[in-house]
Structures are given as C-alpha cells and as structure tokens.
Structure 1
Amino acid sequence: MPTRMTFPDLDNLYAVFWWIRVPQLFSTCVAFSLVANMGIERGAIGNWSMSIWCLCFVVTLVISMVELCRCQTLFPFYWYNFPITYACYAALVCFSASVIYSITYVQFLPDNPYRDRAIAATAFSCIASVFYAIEVAGIWSWYDLDDITCYVHTLPGLLKVLETFVAGVIFAFLSNTSLYLHQPALEWCVAVYSICFILAALAMLLRLNEWESWLPMPFLIFQLVQILLPVLLYISALVLWPLYQFMEEFGGEPHWSSDVSCIYGLSYDMCTWGQRLAVAILTAINLLLLITDMVYWAYKFL
C-alpha cells in the first residue's frame, strides 16, 4: 500500500498531477476546436459549451504553468486551495456541458458531419470531466489532510461548491430574460439567486484565503446568519417561481403544449417552458443543499 503524502511533498504532488492535466488540456482543447469549426451551425448551446471548454483549457494551462515554474509563492493565498477548488468546479461544469449539449442540441442535428463533430466534442468533454474528477479524488486519497487546511475537503466546503455551481447553471438559463422581465415577482427570484450566490462566494473566499479573522463576529455566527438568510430567500423563490411560471391565474403556462417553441422543437436551444421547469428544479435542489448546510452549522453551534 502506498504511504500518504505529507506537507513537504507538495512538489511531488504537483509533479504527479501535472501529468493528469495534460489529458485535461488535450480534451478541452479538442472539444472547443470541434465546436468552433462548426461555425454558425453550433447554435446558442454550442457557444455556451464552447466557452466552458475554452475557460477550462485556459485556467488549467495557467495552473500547469504556475506549478511547472514553481511560482506558487507569488500568490497572496495558499496555492493548494486554488487548483483543488478549480478541479471540483471544472469536473462539474464539463460534465454539465456534456449533458446539456447532448440533450438540447446534438440529438436534434441531422445525420451529417456537423453531428459527428458535436458527438465527438461531447465525448471529449466527458473525458475532461473524468480527468478533473480523478485529480480531485486522487488528491483526497493520497494527501495527508492533517497537515494542511483545504476548505473543499470539508462538508461545508463541498456544499458551497455545489451551491455556487447550481446557481451558475440557473444563471445560464436566466440569460433568457424573457423568462422573468414581464413579472416583478420573477425579477425578485432572480435577485434572490444573485444575492445568495454572492453570499456563498463571499463565504468561500473568506475560508479559502483564511480571512475569517477580518470579520467583526465569530465565523460560526457569521456562517449561521449567512446560511439562514439564503434558506429563507430560496423558500420565497421556490414558491414564487412555479406560481408565476406555471399557474394560469398568475399569467403562467401550466402545460408544455401551450409553449409554441416546445411544439415545434427548436434545434439550437431548450424551449422556454423547459427552461422555466429547469430553473424550478434547480431552485429546489439548491434549497436542499442550503438546508443541509444550515443543519451542519446549527449542529456545530450547539
């Protein structure tokens, strides 16, 4: 059995996982290039997926260069926290891009070379997500966590990653402003998603950079307040969003067939009714994550 690495072995860790980043770079680059070569045929979902793969490629390349040149000490925070946190997000976003791109775009393409490229891009996106997941799992399995502090190795850290990720997917659907601009109650829901995302990101930054001492109150109290407010806000969004999107009395569309864009099956995007349903489901998922987070901190407080 291999021995667990300790703090002095950081350079060995970087050397081992740099070789995992080579297939990460290759997979994201190929996925990006295949969709970019489709021109206007890639559609809105293709543009979104392409931006995901391009961003992952750039950030992975920067991390690889920093570690290869041993420039970690130039950053004003403990470097280890950044690549492992990024790997968690990259695994999630590449996997989500693979799923969304395939079910909302690829399946509607006719049998032609563009469809073959889209399928290949989806496959390479899946491969990238697997290698990012291997990086996360590998560090967790091999590293002696008693010697370092890493926020995403804790339950609240993982919950924050998932909360911000789900919120990011919600924002992707909300890029279609026709979903909510016609109704103040729905605009309130968008404000809820934004406020809660900012609070979660703030909590993550404080822990990742170990800035808890800057707070005017104990960090545990801050966490309880910071998580209680989003829970209450998300409850209001979980009530208002389905109410004004799917109830005829409030101007909503209760049935999928009432949406013209769903009836004709647009090739390059989800229909509007499907986007509304997706936001409602994601709201419920994020509320469950927030409640789990709140229970954890309440237990710690007691």
Structure 2
Amino acid sequence: MVFVNFKSITQPLGIMRVMAAIVSCMCFSLVASVKPDASPYWGWCIFTWVFCFFFTLIILILEFTNVSTKVPFAWEDFTAAFAILASVLCLFASILYPTFFTCNTCYRQIGASVVSWICFALYVAQVVLIHLRSTGQNSGFLSTPPGIMKMLESFFTFLIFLSLEVSQYSGSPALNWCVAVYSLCFIFAIAITFLTLGNLTVYFPFSFEKFAIVYNVLAALMYITAMVIWPLYSFHNNKRPVDCGRLCSWDKLVMITVMTIFNSIVYTLDAIYSILLVFFLSNE
C-alpha cells in the first residue's frame, strides 16, 4: 500500500519544487512555441528545462508517495546533487538563451529568459533549504566538494563538446591536443564519479585516493596547457567575421575558450582539495 505524504509538497522545500516544476515547464513551453533553431545551444537550453522539469516532477512524486524512503541510495544526497546541478544548468541556460536567441521584439523568448532566471533562483533556494534541513548524516559523494567539482568538470566539458566542430581543430596538432585533453579528462571524471557512487573503489589493489590525487594534478596541468594553447592557436589571425551575425563558428571558439578557463580553475581546485583532504584533513 502506498501512503501519501502531503507534507512533502506543503513544506518550504516542497513548495519550491512545485514552483520549479511549473516554471521549468513554462520555460520550455515558451521556447517550443517559437520557431526551432538549429544551434546546439538552443537544443541545450531546451534540454536543460525539460531535464529540470522531469526530475523535479519525479522527486515530487517519489516523496509524495513515500517511495523515496525505499530507494537503495542516499535520497538526500541525490536531491542535493540534483538541485546543485539544476542550478548550474539553469544559470547557463539563462545566460546562453537571451544572448543568442532573443531580440527586442521576441516577446516569448524574452519571457522564457526571465522565467529561466526565476527557475535558477528556485533551484538555488532548494540547495540552501536542503543544506539547512540536513539530518546530519554523512553526505554522499555528489553533495561533497569533490562530487560537486566532478559534476562541474563534466558539465563544462559537455558544453565544450557542444561547441566543437571538426573544422576548428583539424590539421592542427596543438588544437588536437586540446581536444584530447577535453576527452580524456571527461572520461576519467565520469569514471571516477561512477566508481565512487558504486562504492567500487574498495576493490582497487592500490589507494584510490592517491590515484585520484595523481589524476587531478595531471588533469589540472593538462587543462592549463589547453587554456593557453586553445585561444593562442584558435584566434591567431582569426578575427570575428563581419558576417558572423548573432552566432557563428567564431563564437563557439569563444565559448570553448571560456569553458576551458572555467574547467582549468575547477580542476585546479579539485587537485588542491584532494591533496588537502588526503594528506592534511584526514590526519586531524
């Protein structure tokens, strides 16, 4: 028998989730009501709002029916991680969409942009409320600093892949190196995340924590080289075309550069934190 939990939708956190579901639905409905755009950024924004709506609705249903108490993983960790991820997704969608797809007379697009910022605020509020009502149990990986940084690393890399075009790096060994850095670091970040979530790190014949430190340091160094090489070779004798318009391949080069810088910072922080965690904080 399924027992319903009305408190899950009448408490502040539940109300925020209901509002987030409604607002995210409004976002993709407004955007879907206008002519689709072939840009991958348009598709990314739509994906963001649909993703947020779908998982928020799932969380609401599972908590309302008390099924969330029977899931085989840390529910609080999952909801905290989702709220953090949704906040980041909505933040970038709120920046990308109005930057590339709105105009002075595009009222539905402007409305979607405004509503997206509201959606972002609602998910940030959820993050705050989840941490305020924390039960004090050990946090799962995704809601810890290393887990959050792994999510950010994967997210920024995904935006890089979204912006990459073969013509941007073909024929250039230096830019091919950058693409290799993006790919390798993305694969390892995903692998480490799943290994940690599945508690599979205990089966390693060596210290997984020290392996993670070595990886994080190498990844940070590799990304720093990419942060220097990508703009140096991409923009050498390559000014923005006059006929570029609102969005063209040159703009994607800028996006890749910015995301590379962001990821370099996150990977560096990840490396520093992992060193502190293993060699200093764990001994206290």
Using the size of structure 1 for normalisation, the TM-score is 0.80
Question: Aligned partners of 2:8, 2:204: CA distance in 1, in Å?
Answer: 33
Q: How far has the Cα of 1:158 moved from its partner?
A: 2.7
Partner of 1:266: 245
Among all aligned residue pairs of Structure 1 and Structure 2, give the percentage whose two residues are the same amino acid: 31
Report whether the alignment pairs 1:132 with 2:111. no
Q: Please, which of 50, 68, 73 is the counterpart of residue 77 of structure 1?
A: 73
Question: Aligned partners of 1:63, 1:47: CA distance in 2, in Å?
Answer: 24
Q: How far has the Cα of 1:172 moved from its partner?
A: 2.2
Secondary structure, counterpart of 1:299 in structure 2: helix
Partner of 1:50: 46
Q: Please, which of 152, 156, 175 is the counterpart of residue 162 of structure 1?
A: 152
Unaligned stretches of 5+ residues in structure 1: 1-10
Q: How far has the Cα of 1:239 moved from its partner?
A: 3.3
Question: Aligned partners of 1:81, 1:132: CA distance in 2, in Å?
Answer: 15
Matched to 2:120, the amino acid is S
Matched to 2:50, the amino acid is C
Question: Aligned partners of 2:113, 2:43: CA distance in 1, in Å?
Answer: 13
Question: Aligned partners of 1:82, 1:73: CA distance in 2, in Å?
Answer: 12
Q: How far has the Cα of 1:265 moved from its partner?
A: 4.4
Matched to 1:102, the amino acid is P
The count of corresponding residues between Structure 1 and Structure 2 is: 272
Matched to 1:100, the amino acid is L
Secondary structure, counterpart of 1:39 in structure 2: coil
Secondary structure, counterpart of 2:139 in structure 1: coil
Q: Compared with structure 1, are the counterparts of its residues 77 and 142 closer, same or farther at alpha carbon in structure 2 (3 Å cutoff)?
A: closer
Report whether the alignment pairs 1:68 with 2:64. yes
Q: Compared with structure 1, are the counterparts of its residues 209 and 133 closer, same or farther at alpha carbon in structure 2 (3 Å cutoff)?
A: farther
Q: Is the 8 Å Cα contact of residues 35 and 46 (structure 1) preserved in structure 2? A: no
Question: Aligned partners of 2:203, 2:64: CA distance in 1, in Å?
Answer: 33
Report whether the alignment pairs 1:121 with 2:121. no
Question: Aligned partners of 1:286, 1:80: CA distance in 2, in Å?
Answer: 27
Q: Please, which of 179, 184, 200 is the counterpart of residue 195 of structure 1?
A: 184
Q: Compared with structure 1, are the counterparts of its residues 119 and 229 closer, same or farther at alpha carbon in structure 2 (3 Å cutoff)?
A: same
Q: Compared with structure 1, are the counterparts of its residues 69 and 182 closer, same or farther at alpha carbon in structure 2 (3 Å cutoff)?
A: farther
Q: How far has the Cα of 1:173 moved from its partner?
A: 1.6
Q: How far has the Cα of 1:92 moved from its partner?
A: 0.7
Q: Compared with structure 1, are the counterparts of its residues 233 and 12 closer, same or farther at alpha carbon in structure 2 (3 Å cutoff)?
A: farther
Can you list the C-alpha shifts for 1:68-88, whole angstroms capped at 9, x where unaligned?
A: 222235544222222211111
Q: Is the 8 Å Cα contact of residues 16 and 126 (structure 2) preserved in structure 1? A: yes
Q: How far has the Cα of 1:152 moved from its partner?
A: 4.0
Partner of 2:95: 99
Partner of 2:161: 171
Q: How far has the Cα of 1:194 moved from its partner?
A: 2.0
Unaligned stretches of 5+ residues in structure 2: 280-284
Question: Aligned partners of 1:12, 1:214: CA distance in 2, in Å?
Answer: 42
Matched to 1:194, the amino acid is S
Matched to 2:179, the amino acid is V
Q: Compared with structure 1, are the counterparts of its residues 14 and 188 closer, same or farther at alpha carbon in structure 2 (3 Å cutoff)?
A: farther
Q: Is the deviation greater in 127-136 or in 45-54? A: 45-54
Q: How far has the Cα of 1:209 moved from its partner?
A: 4.0
Question: Aligned partners of 1:96, 1:179: CA distance in 2, in Å?
Answer: 23
Question: Aligned partners of 1:60, 1:178: CA distance in 2, in Å?
Answer: 38
Partner of 1:4: none
Q: How far has the Cα of 1:212 moved from its partner?
A: 2.9
Using the size of structure 2 for normalisation, the TM-score is 0.85
Matched to 1:166, the amino acid is F
Matched to 2:202, the amino acid is S
RMSD: 2.4
Report whether the alignment pairs 1:227 with 2:219. no
Can you list the C-alpha shifts for 1:144-190, whole angstroms capped at 9, x where unaligned?
A: 43x2323344332332232222222222222x443224434323322
